[in-house]
Amino acid sequence: MARASRRGLLKMGIAAAGAAAAAGGTHAARPEGGQLNTAQTPSRSAAVVTGRRFKGWVSRGTGPARTTLEELTLRPIAGRQVLVRTEATNLCYSNTGAVLGLGPGGGGFGRLGEMALIQGHGGVGVVEAVGPEVRRVQAGDRVCVSGTPQCGACYQCLRGRSDMCQFLGRQGPNDLVAMADLRDGTPVYANSHIGGLAELMVTFEEWVVPVFTKAAAADLGMVCSCVAVAGLGATTSQGTGILRPGSTVAVVGCGPLGLSAVQGARISGASSIIAIDPIKARRDIALKVGATEVLDPNVEGDGLVAKVRDLTKGPNDRLWFGGRDAGGLLGGAGADFVVEAVGADTAPPKAERGPDPTGILPLRQAYEMCAAGGDIVTTSLPRGNITLPAVMFTIGGRTHHAGQAGGCSPMRDIPRFVAMLDSGQYQARALATTVVPIERMREAYEEVVYRTTATAIMTA
Ligand SMILES: [Zn+2]
Ligand SMILES: [Zn+2]
Angstrom CA distances, 1 to 58, 142, 235, 436, stand at 26, 13, 35, 18
* Nearest by Cα to 381 from 400, 403, 361, 359: 359
User: 459 C-alpha to center of ligand 1: Å?
Assistant: 17
User: 332 C-alpha to center of ligand 1: Å?
Assistant: 35
> Identity (one letter) of the amino acid at 418?
V
Rounded Cα distance between 309 and 22, Å, is 72
Ligand nearest to the CA of residue 157, numbered in listed order: 2
User: 122 C-alpha to center of ligand 1: Å?
Assistant: 7
User: 151 C-alpha to center of ligand 2: Å?
Assistant: 4
Ligand nearest to the CA of residue 99, numbered in listed order: 1
Helix (H) or strand (E) run with residue 251 in it: strand 248-252
Ligand nearest to the CA of residue 162, numbered in listed order: 2
Helix, strand, coil % in the chain, rounded to nearest 5: 35, 20, 45
Task: Give φ, ψ of 331 to 5 degrees.
Answer: -65, 160
Give strand pairing partners of 210: 143
User: 225 C-alpha to center of ligand 1: Å?
Assistant: 7
Angstrom CA distances, 351 to 127, 252, 348, 451, 452, stand at 38, 17, 9, 6, 6
User: 365 C-alpha to center of ligand 1: Å?
Assistant: 24
User: 187 C-alpha to center of ligand 2: Å?
Assistant: 28
Question: Helices (H) and strands (E) in the chain — how many of each?
Answer: 14, 18
Q: Rounded to two decimals, what is the model's pTM?
A: 0.89
Ligand nearest to the CA of residue 205, numbered in listed order: 2
Pairing of strands 293-295, 178-181: unpaired
Task: Kindly give the confidence (pLDDT) of every residue in the chain, 460 residues in length, as a single tens digit, with 9 standing for 90 and above.
Answer: 344 444 444 444 333 333 333 333 333 333 333 333 333 344 445 455 578 999 999 999 999 999 999 999 999 999 999 999 999 999 999 999 999 999 777 887 788 899 999 999 899 999 999 999 999 999 999 999 999 999 999 999 999 999 999 999 999 999 999 999 999 999 999 999 999 999 999 999 999 999 999 999 999 999 999 999 999 999 999 877 889 999 999 999 999 999 999 999 999 999 999 999 999 999 999 999 999 999 999 999 999 999 999 999 988 888 898 888 877 778 889 999 999 999 999 999 999 999 999 999 999 999 999 999 999 999 999 999 999 999 999 999 999 999 899 999 999 999 999 999 999 999 999 999 999 999 999 999 999 999 999 999 999 9
Rounded Cα distance between 317 and 310, Å, is 12
User: 346 C-alpha to center of ligand 2: Å?
Assistant: 30
User: 227 C-alpha to center of ligand 1: Å?
Assistant: 6
Ligand nearest to the CA of residue 89, numbered in listed order: 1
Ligand nearest to the CA of residue 161, numbered in listed order: 2
Rounded Cα distance between 283 and 380, Å, is 18
User: 447 C-alpha to center of ligand 2: Å?
Assistant: 34
Output 99-102 pairs: Cβ under 8 A, ≥24 positions apart.
Answer: 99/57, 99/59, 99/67, 99/197, 99/442, 99/445, 100/64, 100/67, 100/442, 100/445, 100/446, 100/449, 101/59, 101/62, 101/63, 101/64, 101/65, 101/66, 101/67, 102/64, 102/346, 102/347, 102/449
Rounded Cα distance between 121 and 181, Å, is 21
Give strand pairing partners of 57: 69
